Every structure is written in structure tokens, then in C-alpha cells.
Structure 1
Amino acid sequence: MTIGLRIAIVAYEQALPSALYGLGEVFYAVERFRERNESVRSLEWRYLLVGQDDRMSSLPCWQADERVDVVILPPCSAGQTPVCPPDWLVAWLHQQHQQGAVLASACGGACVLARSGLLDGRIVTTHWLLEETFRQQFPNVRLNLDAVVIEEADLITAGGIMAWLDLAMRIVWRYYGAILVAQLSKYLLWDSGEREQRYYRRFQPPKQHGDGAILKLQQWLEVHFQTTCPLSQLAEQAAMSPRTLQRRFLAATQLTISSYVQHLRLEKARELLETTVLPVEQITWQIGYDDRASFNKLFKTQIGLSPKAYRQRFSGASSVGRT
């Protein structure tokens, strides 16, 4: 007899309700498709309740002493980050992992796993907006915010708020294969095409560093990013030596000045590609570059798409005036 797959969806206090219910719907659909082939292992999914939640009380739940094969930490609701998990949940996560369970998270759910210590030294992804907070709170975790999903033998992490669906489909692919994923994709109208989180990630310059002189320079660069300005001139404007400016700027922003300006220019390029029909050559010139070929190469390296492909994917203006 084929041993069934047991999945626990952790319903912690700040978990996104649509993800909690949506994950259940995906796994319910898997079981329906699976019933057509009795040789395929069954799937049993339930919730693990953390705290009192009347909305979940009538749904199938695991007891804390039951063993599962996959543990899922869903994303948290918009604008929230999970509080420190209770001691019993941390102990339960460690126990399940030691017994061979695969740990999985989407978006802010990675914070719950990180607070348990189970992500130390591991390469994971989470939502790009959580980067600064995550790096401060969990310095021993290695972030890769370019990827939508990162999968290892015993750990699967997904990035964005809606990436819980990508996470669920990756779990289905691992245990049930590509054919069932293809069936589910058609049923759910889910695009199974590969994509990366860096397509969507926006530059969020750190400004809470407490260095007033560097903050003032950041504000100046945001207005004059298209102007090539010598380091000596920037240092004079900041009233410090070039060497001191470089050191303090790097300490405050974790970027060199040239990298910072590059990020500002690419952000402006993305904005113009999304909102205008300006030729790429003109955008290249407007943001401070002279050579389109070099700009195209830089854009593709940093964003993961060529300017043309980016515009086709994200522009609301690319079809203006066309039939």
C-alpha cells in the first residue's frame, strides 16, 4: 500500500487568510486529480493551529504530536511581520525537521522559520520588501532575493505574497510530478512559465542609517542621478574628503556611490519603460548613459530581462496608439 503524503499548513496569528484557505484548495484539487490514478500516493493536508482562531476551528487540524512530511509557513497579511513564535511551535518545527519533514515558507513565513534558528547558514528567499528587516534580524541567513522559489532537499522557500501558489505547485511537482502540475496549471489558470523575483523587485535605498550628511547626498543624487559627477565634487558638496565620503556612504547604504547611482538610473529606466512609449535609445540618454548596447547589457544583467522584454511584460503604455 502506498504511504500517503501528510502536509501541515501552520495557521499562525498573522498568516494571510487567503493563503491559508488557498493552499488547502490546491491540495484538495491534487487529491481530486490523484483519485484518477490509484497507484499515486494519497495526500492528507490539515492545519496546525497556533493560538485561538474561530475561523479555523471547523477545519481539519493536526495534533502537535502527529508526524508530517511537509510543513508550510504561509505568508503574513500585508503590512505585518510574524511575531516571535511560541516555544512549543519552535520545538515542534525542530522535531518535525529532525524526523525528516521538508520545511517550506512563502514571503513572511520565512521569518517564522528564521526565528526558530532552522535557516541559519541556509540560502533562502522572501519578499524583497523584507530585505532590510530580515538582514538585521537574521544575519546568519543567506538571502537570495532574485529567485521566486529556492528548493533544496529539506527546504523550499518562496518570495512574494502570492508566491504561496508557486510554493504549492513546487511541492506538487516534487511529490507528484510534471503531469499533475500541468493538469493543475490548466485547472487553476496558473502560468507555469519561469520567472524571477528580480523582475518585480524595486530599489529601496536605506535612509534610516542616521548619517545626516549621507542622507542629504542621497537626496541630491535622486534628483541629479543622470549627471556624471566626479567623486571630488561630491566630496566637496558633502564637506568631507573623498576617502571619508566613500567609507561613510558604504557604511550607511551598503553600496558604493557608483552602484547607488546605477540603481537609481535603472529604477528610472524601469519607470519610463512601464509608463511611456519612448524609444530605448532615448531612455538610455535620459538616464545618463550614452551607449544603448552597454545599457541593454547592464539592464539584462541586473533585472534579468532585456529592456524590450521588460516593456512587453510590464508596460501599460506599450500598446498606446497601436492597433
Structure 2
Amino acid sequence: MHAAGAVVCSICTGTLFLAEAGLLYGLEATTHWSVAPFVREHYPDVRLRPERLLCPAGTGHRIVTAGGASTWSELGLYLTARFAGDTEARRMSKLFLIGDKSDGQLPFAVMARPHQHTDAAIAAAQVWLGDNYTTGNPVARMAEIARLPERTFSRRFRKATGYGPVEYVQALRLEEAKQMLETTAEAVDAVALAVGYADPVFFRRIFKRSVGVTPARYRQRYAGFLRV
């Protein structure tokens, strides 16, 4: 299969099968730490890197070895990113809680999809907000667009979407902030300003409360997490 162009992967002691088949000759590879001495003794031509979780090697990186059995998740994310893109890999990481769970589940969570509804006035306000969520006092502006008093607007908005207006605005802003932290090197203060928070201290506080970690910690978890 490899000779026909397939990408061949192994996890844990599966490296031994690839080495025995001659596929790792002269290539870097990783494996479970416990069999590293065995590999060195019996397959001295393998350039063993047991400190690594993943080790793509060979022409076109068509050989990929992974460390211990639990590294299936890193291998899965690597392959997803490689064949479906980084965005899809990040989505899979969040959906299946793959990665460091020491901070709990909140860093994996994304904004819940708003309810489907038929309230045209609220729908118009949602459409406007999608392009203008960085605007100051957006709830008052949405009420104007919906042509409703603010209290009536708030009640109808919650009934239609399942979110309070302020909660909805914050959720949109934080989802955009998370996207920027995942995919750009913008400073946290610049991210805060870009999504509508003029006070970076307030942004950090609301981000930590909603996401469970600081913006810097979130970036550390996701930005470039697929690099090998």
C-alpha cells in the first residue's frame, strides 16, 4: 500500500511492524518509550526520536509514527489538519474534547446555535448584529432596528433565540476573539479592541469567566497546536 502511494501510520509499538517491513530505513520515527531500546538494538538504521509524540517522515511525509497508545488523538488531529485543514481539526478537537483537559470543558465549548424562529423583527436585528457586533451599545441599536422598546425587544429576543441580547452580543464577540486567538498572532489587547471591547482588562475578565481560561492560555492551547 505504501508503494502504491498510501500514507502509512503507526501508534505505540506499531512502529516495530513498520521497521520490520523496512519502511523506516534511514527515517526518523517515534514509538512507546518502553520499546525504544529494542528498536535501537534490532533496527539501528531507524533514527529513533522517542521524545516526540508524532514523527512524520519520508518523501511526502507518507510515514507517520506516533508514541504511546494515547497519542491516537494527536495522530487523528494531525491527519485531519493535513487532509481537511486546520479549521476542521480545531473543530474536531473541541467537539471531542481532544487535548489538555486540566482546565475542564469550557475551553472546548462553542456558542450554542440560536433557536430557529419566525420573528422577523428579531431576525433583522440578528442580521445587523452579525456585521456590527463591535459597535458600542449594540443592544439599543438592535432595538431600534427591530422598532421595539428595549424591554419588549429583550423579552422577544430571548423568546426567539434562547439568549438575552447582552448574552448574545458577548457570545458573538467571544467566538470571534477565540477565532483570532487560534489563527493570528495579534496581541490580546488588539484582539479585545477588534471584537468590541475598549477595556482589555474587562475583556480578559469576561473571557476567563466564559471560557474558563485566560486569552493567553487559550491561545497556547489552540494556536498552532497541530504543528509537529
TM-score, with length taken from structure 1: 0.38
Instruction: Please tell me whether residue 292 in structure 1 is matched to residue 200 in structure 2.
Output: yes
Aligned mate of 2:212, from 304, 309, 317: 304
Cα 1:250/1:318, change in 2 over 3 Å? same
TM-score, with length taken from structure 2: 0.53
Q: Which residue in the other structure is 2:165 paired with?
A: 257
The 5 A counterparts of 1:181-260 are: 194-229=102-137, 231-260=139-168
**1:276 CA displacement:** 0.3
One-letter amino acid of the structure 2 residue matched with residue 209 of structure 1: H
* Whole-angstrom CA distance in 2 between matches of 1:277 and 1:299: 18
One-letter amino acid of the structure 2 residue matched with residue 249 of structure 1: F
Between the aligned residues of both structures, percent identity stands at 36
Instruction: Please tell me whether residue 283 in structure 1 is matched to residue 191 in structure 2.
Output: yes
Structure holding more helix per residue: 2
* Whole-angstrom CA distance in 2 between matches of 1:306 and 1:272: 14
Q: Is the 8 A contact 2:114 2:163 kept in 1?
A: no
The 5 A counterparts of 1:93-242 are: 161=96, 194-229=102-137, 231-242=139-150
Deviations 1:247-278 (A, max 9, x none): 10011122221111011110010010000000
**1:193 CA displacement:** 5.3
Q: Is the 8 A contact 1:277 1:318 kept in 2?
A: no
Instruction: Please tell me whether residue 266 in structure 1 is matched to residue 174 in structure 2.
Output: yes
One-letter amino acid of the structure 2 residue matched with residue 306 of structure 1: T
The 5 A counterparts of 1:12-161 are: 161=96
One-letter amino acid of the structure 2 residue matched with residue 215 of structure 1: A
Which blocks of at least 5 consecutive residues in structure 1 are unaligned?
Answer: 1-158, 164-190
Q: Which has the higher contact order (CA 8 A, sep 6+)?
A: 2
One-letter amino acid of the structure 2 residue matched with residue 205 of structure 1: R
Task: Give the paired residue count.
Answer: 135
Cα 1:193/1:239, change in 2 over 3 Å? closer
The alignment partner of 2:197 has SS state of coil
One-letter amino acid of the structure 2 residue matched with residue 278 of structure 1: E
One-letter amino acid of the structure 2 residue matched with residue 311 of structure 1: R
Deviations 1:40-79 (A, max 9, x none): xxxxxxxxxxxxxxxxxxxxxxxxxxxxxxxxxxxxxxxx
RMSD: 2.9
* Whole-angstrom CA distance in 2 between matches of 1:301 and 1:217: 26
Cα 1:231/1:225, change in 2 over 3 Å? closer
Q: Is the 8 A contact 1:277 1:317 kept in 2?
A: no
Deviations 1:126-164 (A, max 9, x none): xxxxxxxxxxxxxxxxxxxxxxxxxxxxxxxxx95478x
Deviations 1:192-215 (A, max 9, x none): 852422211111331412222212
